Structure 1
């Protein structure tokens, strides 16, 4: 598939957001859970566009700017085309790809 690497990364991020949302809902952090569900839906939309080979609007981005306790921060990601080059950009103080360690 033409965009298999990008789709794989977006799938990971969507799943992480969905898992985080479920955990946050269980802990009563409903605002954070809603943000994660919105981000997961945005990831899924990007995946569908890539799978159908439909061009994404450029730029496509997800941003978060304030935590539930009112602390301001900036984090986000962008997916788009710039000067003919595909880009996947991340802005964060910490970045991780979570998964089970291999044995």
Structure 2
């Protein structure tokens, strides 16, 4: 899926669909006209972290849908957020110590030594 700017300030969303025997391009167009500069700023910040505006919007929408649809999806979103927060807080020294401990406790197959 890609989000491309249109000349009128809207965004055009396109998606590629894999079909048996090759790739065909199917284009579905929607206009996103968000007139809130704070939201634009958040999307730009998230895009810097995820690599693109498409990835930023995709991630945000998927997480919110999982949260609203409940059950296991909501739990996964909470766990992902906690893991991400921990990863951001770890220093290089702490990260190396965890990796060494993991390598000492578990084999390449993921089973205890």
Structure 1 length normalisation: TM-score? 0.31
Q: Which has the higher contact order (CA 8 A, sep 6+)?
A: 1
Structure 2 length normalisation: TM-score? 0.29
